[in-house]
Amino acid sequence: MEVRSVHPLTRMFIFCAGSSLDLLYQCPRSEWIKHTGIGVTVFFTALLAVLSSFYAFQLIFPDVWISCVLSLIWGAIILNLDRYIVSSFRMNQTWKEELLQLIPRLIMAVAISIVISKPLEVEVFKLEINQVLGSDKIVLVDSLTHQYHRELEQWDAKVGVLKKELKGYFDLKEAYYREYICECDGTCGTGQKGRGIECFAKKEKYESFSAEFEQHKIRIDKSIQDIEIEKKKLAASFEKNKKTMEDIFSYGFLARLNALGKLDSLASIAITLLLALVEITPVLTKFFAPKGPYDHLLQMGEYDYKVKYVQTVYKKNQEFFQMSPITSEAQQFSQKPDQKDPTHAQTDATERYRKLKEYLQKKQNS
């Protein structure tokens, strides 16, 4: 397939999949379909990340443009992570090695899906979350009101005690007055009518206590007035605290997440599982799918690079020996690598190169 015959959308999806166009040009149509499908999944996952982050940023920033820019940046981050997860998975190893590759990538994919799903869940269950937050607000107001009424009852109880005390003094004064009158009338006490010694004594007692009662009344009235002032202050403080609490009550993203956790809904779990499934699908597709032409070409390219690397290391060995006198101790590093086994040759040449550098450094220091 020629470069100019590739549709721009296909190019974009191939880029999202982290696949190489140069290798796909050498592959049959089936490989294009597979890698394009992987790219489509990665792209729409990033698109969901943009939408979900936009809902989240809207709760934080009032400016729509700021939310748009930040959500696009977040979507690009998720796209890059998904692209790395998919493109870094290799099919040229044993199934155990591939499983070891798969596990951390699955964990990362699930974590990304959870991060993406939460803002979407907040938006989907917006009405239910508002109900939960409204109930929480009512509970806080009721708690504040209950505390206010409890303190108000304490002040009222003090007023009741003072009024009861004043009534006791008043009843005692009235009792002294009745004794005084009935003594003077002759209906009680000595039974002698007229203003005698007992009549004047009880009159003096009544008048003395009446003066004392007025002092008690002034004191108690003053205490009741002070309590009424405190009750007014308490009422003003209650209204102020109530208004402050209503003003600062949070409807932000974190509060909505907490409210989402209080919802007993399987739909929330279903959304998370759905996005998790979408997120891990590209990696699982690569894991369970058999090796295709693209994987073989990729393996061949990496193998050619390893061969060139071995040749370069061997060439560097020869250059070092040309720059330094070759002693019997250093000749052990100049043996030619085994060409029959390139993998063994790579390891052997690398080890000889490392030992040669150590040897030359020791010679130079001495």
| Residue with more model confidence, 192 or 121 | 121
Q: Is the pLDDT of residue 271 over 60?
A: yes
Q: Is the pLDDT of residue 3 over 70?
A: no
Give the pLDDT confidence score for residue 169 in this predicted structure. 85
Amino acid at 59: L
Measured distance CA(260)–CA(280) in Å, rounded: 24
Q: Is the pTM of this model over 0.75?
A: no
Chain position carrying tokens 């052997």: 348
**What's the mean per-residue pLDDT of the chain?**
77
Query: Using H for helix, E for strand and C for coil, what is the string for the chain?
Result: CCHHHCCHHHHHHHHHHCCCHHHHCCCCHHHHHHHHHHHHHHHHHHHHHHHHHHHHHHCCCCCHHHHHHHHHHHHHHHHHHHHHHHHCCCCCCCHHHHHHHHHHHHHHHHHHHHHHHHHHHHHHCHHHHHHHHHHHHHHHHHHHHHHHHHHHHHHHHHHHHHHHHHHHHHHHHHHHHHHHHHHHHCCCCCCCCCCCHHHHHHHHHHHHHHHHHHHHHHHHHHHHHHHHHHHHHHHHHHHHHHHHHHHHCCCCHHHHHHHHHHCCCHHHHHHHHHHHHHHHHHHHHHHHCCCCHHHHHHHHHHHHHHHHHHHHHHHHHHHHHHHCCCCCCCHHHCCCCCCCCHHHHHHHHHHHHHHHHHHHHHHHHC
Give the pLDDT confidence score for residue 322 in this predicted structure. 64
Residues 6 or more apart whose CB falls under 8 angstroms from that of 331 comprise none
Provide the CA 277 distance to its chain's centre, in angstroms.
22
Q: Is the pLDDT of residue 155 over 80?
A: yes
Which segment of 59-68, 192-201, 287-296 scores lowest on mean pLDDT?
Answer: 192-201
Chain position carrying tokens 């489509």: 40
Provide the CA 132 distance to its chain's centre, in angstroms.
18
> Averaged over 30-43, what is the pLDDT?
87
Which segment of 211-215, 262-266, 296-300, 310-314 scores lowest on mean pLDDT?
Answer: 262-266
Q: Is the pLDDT of residue 347 over 70?
A: no
Which segment of 2-6, 34-38, 109-113, 285-289 scores lowest on mean pLDDT?
Answer: 2-6
Give the pLDDT confidence score for residue 115 in this predicted structure. 79
Q: Is the pLDDT of residue 213 over 50?
A: yes
Helix 95-124 × helix 126-185 angle, to 10°:
50
> Averaged over 315-328, what is the pLDDT?
63
Q: Is the pLDDT of residue 192 over 60?
A: yes
Measured distance CA(328)–CA(37) in Å, rounded: 60
Measured distance CA(199)–CA(203) in Å, rounded: 6
Give the pLDDT confidence score for residue 276 in this predicted structure. 78
